[in-house]
Amino acid sequence: MTPLILTPGDVTLRDLAMIYRTGCPVELHRNARPAVEAAAAAIDAVAAGDLAVYGVNTGFGKLASMRIAQADTATLQRNLILSHCCGVGAAILPRHTRLMMVLKLLSLGRGASGVRWALIELLEKMLARGVTPMVPVQGSVGASGDLAPLAHMTAVLIGEGEAEVDGRILPGAEALAAVGLAPMPLGPKEGLAFINGTQFSTAFALAGLFDGWAAAQAALVTSALSTDAIMGSTAPLHPDIHALRGHAGQIEAAACLRALLDGSEIRESHRDGDTRVQDPYCIRCQPQVTGAAMDVMRQAARTLEIEANAATDNPLVLTQAGLIVSGGNFHAEPVGFAADMIALALAEVGAIAQRRVALMVDPTLSHDLPPFLTPRPGLNSGLMIAEVTTAALMSENKHIAMPCVTDSTPTSANQEDHVSMAAHGAVRLGRMIENLHVILGVEAVAAAQGIDFRAPLRTSTPLQAVVARLRQDVATLGDDRYLAPDLAAAARLIGSGELATASGLPLPEVWG
């Protein structure tokens, strides 16, 4: 596969989404090399001199006042990596690890870290040849950088730790050798440059953004199905209503719903003579809720795009100014805020979807649909407990969505006395999205069932295509059957994007 060429400082969300989705190899544009080598030369000069510079010839954290002899600088960096490999828990998925590796390349490629170009090339080759470090999911507090997970990643470069190659988990040195690579010893500051940074948190936040946005797209489709299933009104989708408020996400969501429902015989059948004046909020306010969630996710996306292109280690080499400056770019507070924003959006998309499921199974609210959407209620319970499952997952997501960034705690003998908890905030997004896939999958099953009951009236052409795709995997529910496989199949269709794309209509994108 031809590598995707990335220019540090100028990488887009589209690029990052492609890397996350496809696992494609990447290379930095070679015009980044001069700045990288200039910063490395500046570090070498300091290492050979008498000036004390943090992380080059001093200890780390609370031990920064301890001077390290020039002969021990390589040992200092190796010890740093080994001592910081303290992650616990299950290994993260390869797609998250690979995205984290790419983000580290982008940070080092800004030419402010002081690492040799050869290390950048080794990381590129690991990506190209499928060497994926085994990185435990737990251990980072999001400052000073994602130390433990990045140490596990870096350990493989020096022949330590473990990595997956061709489905086998091997010791680091063996993994490199299996694809014709060799470990590299670290020079002055290089270990610190690799583990000071926000790349673990940012990778998981980006994954949550991309998968969460796809779920929001699916929610637009399932909510349109639900609207037709309960014979809801499209009047609240009138474009002038949304233009008068002015929020971009709301305007886009309403336009998308109008397109999805356009031409529905079900809708046309009750334009006149419908005694209902207004639908419940979960139908009437879909653009205001899902659209607001889209806006929030786009705000988070802007933050994460900036962070993906940032130099986030410490100290930073300012070659043009001739300075090496200690700062705090490793603090993942922006990523923590972005992850919390995404979590709130996901929780709300799920909350309003769950209310639509509850609406459809309730005969007092569903406009003449049978109780729990079963043709023979009483003998059969239909989707009664499927709705309960969505309530459980909705509640779980609301709990998980509580802010993480406010939960600081001092570490490292109070030297690192405020941390972001961005890693927690970003990792939990995956669990929330899995829950949301089930909620939306159940909504699709319920709405398709409701639309079937409206026959011979037909829904719109785009929504007919969506129902047809669902029916390939989930049959119409007659008498009660073992439902767990159906719910799992529907959730897979949501997660893969197949159900949303079946409509054939363009859906809003996170990059606008």
Instruction: Yes or no: say if 43 and 188 are a contact pair by the CB < 8 Å rule.
Output: yes
Place of tokens 């239909």: 382
User: What is the β-pairing status of strands 168-171 and 162-165?
Assistant: antiparallel
3-state helix, strand, coil in the chain (%, to 5): 60, 5, 35
Q: Which two tokens stand for residue 258?
A: 């109008």
Residues comprising the chain, all counted = 512
- φ/ψ of 188, rounded to 5, equals -55, 130
- Calpha distance 481→22 (Å, rounded): 37
- Calpha distance 145→314 (Å, rounded): 9
- Residues serving a catalytic function are 54
What is the Cα 92 distance to its own chain's centre? Answer: 13
Largest CA distance in the chain: 89
- Calpha distance 509→512 (Å, rounded): 5
- Calpha distance 61→16 (Å, rounded): 32
Residue type, 381: S
Q: What crossing angle do the helices spanning 384-400 and 422-453 adopt, rounded to 10°?
A: 160
Instruction: Yes or no: say if 66 and 59 are a contact pair by the CB < 8 Å rule.
Output: yes
Instruction: Yes or no: say if 146 and 354 are a contact pair by the CB < 8 Å rule.
Output: no
DSSP sequence for 57-107:
SB--GGGTTSB--GGGHHHHHHHHHHHH---EEEEPPHHHHHHHHHHHHHH
- Output DSSP code: residue 247: -
- Output DSSP code: residue 10: -
Q: Which residues pair with 324 in a beta bridge?
A: 317
